[in-house]
Structure 1
């Protein structure tokens, strides 16, 4: 019973981790393509972009993410060694290992990275040629998005492909995959920061809300102090009258 539970958690946690990573990648690609279409064909995009179509595209992105995460449910297994239970990839043959690794590299890194570069390059040159951008901030955000995606995912896929070459030391590959997986997972929460926190409206509203909270707190503290002082004065007045 314990082995079945451990095996289930081994498969499930790995599946959820890859589902989270691949879904964030594909959603980032969808956002990049959507922005590119909106810049190139603004009139068509305004008439054709609907919530229903967007829902279908997002649904397909999740389906594709699930399909790339399914190998975790198939090949992840547990292994007992020196009273310890280890979760590892138990590939039936070398071809299965190659197929999973290469498919994850192509569909989870290479193609999305190329699509993102192409989309933001088109946006960059379109805005620059039409002088639609009054500041350099949109270009800095584009560069940050592309750079973050590349730097976060490159270590993982580098060690994943290096694992196919049996000439590399196993300990170095295992350690590199752990670090690479951690950095790749970080890309999931870095993207919202880049999209939201770098916006002027968000920063201004956030700053105003913080200032308003501080002003309200100071105002309430002042009112409390004034009430306390007035209460103390009235009590002193009553005391002196009584004496």
Structure 2
């Protein structure tokens, strides 16, 4: 199996396991815990993932996020392009401020926080009841509708508050040149076939980025799709930054 096949398999598995994993990473469960003065598994999860972004970039978005997986799987079926909607992208910045600001405010109001990773989970398993299934089904359907309306990874581009935090960390690590997962290119070998742009799940101008050897767009999820389809191996994943 090549890297593209492995990535697709991981995304598919992430989507299949969403009914189990979602409650452990849910921003809603995280906020409910803070409201009761509890550090739930979801808060621990996001803190760890955000810290790992300094090393792995947005690899979580590219390889593990169940919502991202759902969008890409649906995109393979409906084959839509990202629809550019002016100013709509600012909505996710607003949602990020509300999410992060709300979490900080709730933590400050709670004072002493109790660490309870299994908050709301009882024996550690998600609550298998009709309400939980209906909620998860609603989210799945909602993400599918967003893909139909806004195209490829429309939720990530316009509505995901977590992506804003990922983008901020990515800008910091790229500016400081922390050894981390990123893309590099050999521009002189590019034949301008644009296969890289067609494969990019985030609809980025990859050919232009490769031509300038400047993959500094914080929306890049370092999935390596562009590198996998490049017939001349112009683009590659790298760890250490060139001086």
Instruction: Say yes or no: TM over 0.5.
Output: no
| TM-score normalised by structure 2 residue count | 0.26
Greater fraction helix? 1
| TM-score normalised by structure 1 residue count | 0.26
Choose 1 or 2 for highest CA Rg.
Answer: 1
- Structure number with the bigger relative contact order (C-alpha 8 A, sep ≥ 6) is 2
